Copies of this chain bind each other. A is one copy, B any other.
Amino acid sequence: MGADSHLREAEVESESVFKGVMLDVRRDQVRLPDGKISVREYIRHPGAVVILAQLPNGNLLFERQFRYPLRQVFLELPAGKIDPGETLLDTAQRELLEETGHQAEAWEHLGTMHPCIGYSDERIEIFLARGLRSVGAQALDHNEFLDVLQLSPAAAREAIFAGEITDAKTITALYWLTR
């Protein structure tokens, strides 16, 4: 704390400025390190998980999903928000099952990323799931539509450099796979 006092900002006042179906937006007055007052606006997010789900053949499960803010279909790893009361592992297992119809024998928590530190408090927990088996169909939310496919880690790497994977949570998780 002491060492970073020239960087830290302190909350003076906090208010909710928009609470929607999905987004919770706050505006805070903050005291800057030089004592002046400024404003910070940001999203409050429950956190999420992203899953490197490795099939017995070494391939990873991917999804193709339309992301409305960018009006574009993205190639991305399975992921989803933490529901109230869930452990991180609960969320990861639920999302993998719902989105891809797969269960895994072995789960490992690799690390944490922050996708959007400028205007969101979201964190995404990265899981590696192995010993995968297909146990049924997708069980998607009523407003969720996606295709499931598989890619080898080498093909995923190529897809990044070809501009076909641009989703930062997916690329960050793939970085962790190279550990």
Taking Cβ atoms with an 8 Å cutoff, the residues of A that contact B are: 4, 6-9, 17-18, 20-23, 25, 27-28, 30, 32-34, 36, 38-43, 64-70, 73-74, 76, 111-124, 142-143, 145-147, 160-161, 163, 166-169, 171-172, 174-176, 179
Known: A111-B161, A112-B166. A28 touches B68 (CB 8 A): yes
**CB–CB A68/B43 < 8 A:** no
Of B20, B25, B74, the residue contacting A114 (CB under 8 A) is B74
| CB proximity of A168 to chain B, nearest CB, Å | 4
Question: Copy number of this protein in the oligomer?
Answer: 2
Bound: A145/B54 CA distance, A: 42
Q: Most chain-B CB neighbours within 10 Å: which of A118, A121, A146, A174?
A: A118
**CB–CB A43/B168 < 8 A:** no
